[in-house]
């Protein structure tokens, strides 16, 4: 990650924050934390500074094209460029399959699908200005979920949006391959985040996993860092599934 400028959407808390702090450990030049929660983004940037890194907090509503693109533009202005984008923002309101409301569908689609789409478009337009047809011009990593690959009657609307992001990732990857922009996704299994702990999910996640436990966020973040870093020079359009065997089972 040394020398890279990275924008993390949804980096104000949870998994996005973990990714940011690990990137600081790996020598990233600068980070832009784009989040709908301005206070959370600022808190992450304080932690980045405490770890010796440079963070820029950016408040943006990614569900709408104009504000989403404006947020990305602020990241470019703050850091001078964006080498890698990590799309980590998502909402996860559980509901039984036969009881999902229009409001729940609209929220999931707005953040998980449209938000990811808007940020990819903004990043690609920026990265294309640096393309020379030879060197990697930029990298995008979309965080999906193992739920995109297995049935999930307790949260079908979330699973459907993550499957949509898998499809978007593939489409974007082919569209910009000639520009040497690499677009991949990382699909985690259930993680032992603070939110999962507070909602009481950990027992359920552990019981469903062949390894008998939920993943630690750092275990998944390792693969995000590889896909977003200079170490990735050839992988694009791929879905990196890190499930502890859950998808196989």
Angle CA(69)–CA(220)–CA(177) in degrees, nearest 5? 50
| Rounded Cα–Cα distance for residues 141 and 85 (Å) | 6
| Rounded Cα–Cα distance for residues 5 and 83 (Å) | 5
Could you tell me which of 114, 222, 124, 198 has the C-alpha nearest to residue 161? 114
Could you tell me which of 18, 55, 13, 44 has the C-alpha nearest to residue 221? 18
246 is catalytic: no
Rg of the chain (C-alpha set): 17
For 82, the token pair is 């964006």
| Residue that the structure tokens 């996704």 belong to | 185
Kindly give, in sequence order, each residue whose CB lies less than 8 Å from that of residue 182, ignoring residues fewer than 6 positions away. 136, 138, 139, 140, 173, 227, 232, 233, 234, 235, 236
Catalytic choice (92, 158, 234, 246): 158
| Rounded Cα–Cα distance for residues 136 and 138 (Å) | 6
For 140, the token pair is 């995008």
Positions marked catalytic: 158
């Amino acid at each position: 990650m040394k020398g890279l400028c990275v924008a993390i959407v949804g980096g104000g808390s949870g998994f996005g924050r973990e990714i940011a702090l690990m990137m600081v450990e790996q020598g990233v030049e600068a980070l832009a934390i784009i989040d709908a929660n301005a206070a959370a983004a600022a808190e992450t940037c304080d932690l980045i500074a405490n770890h010796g890194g440079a963070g820029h907090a950016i408040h943006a509503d990614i569900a709408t094209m104009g504000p989403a693109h404006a947020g990305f533009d602020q990241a470019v202005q703050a850091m001078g460029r964006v080498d890698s984008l990590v799309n980590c923002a998502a909402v996860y309101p559980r509901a039984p399959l036969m009881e999902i409301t229009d409001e729940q569908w609209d929220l999931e689609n707005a953040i998980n699908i449209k938000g990811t789409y808007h940020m990819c478009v903004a990043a690609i337009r920026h990265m294309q200005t640096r393309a020379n047809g030879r060197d990697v011009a930029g990298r995008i990593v979309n965080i999906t979920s193992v739920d995109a690959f297995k049935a999930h009657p307790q949260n079908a609307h979330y699973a459907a949006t993550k499957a949509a992001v898998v499809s978007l990732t593939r489409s974007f990857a082919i569209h910009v391959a000639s520009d040497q922009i690499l677009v991949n996704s990382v699909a985690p299994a259930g993680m032992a985040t603070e939110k999962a702990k507070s909602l009481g999910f950990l027992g359920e996640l552990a019981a469903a996993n062949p390894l008998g436990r939920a993943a630690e966020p750092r275990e998944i973040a390792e693969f995000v860092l590889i896909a977003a870093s200079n170490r990735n020079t050839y992988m694009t359009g791929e879905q990196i599934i890190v499930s502890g065997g859950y998808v196989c089972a």
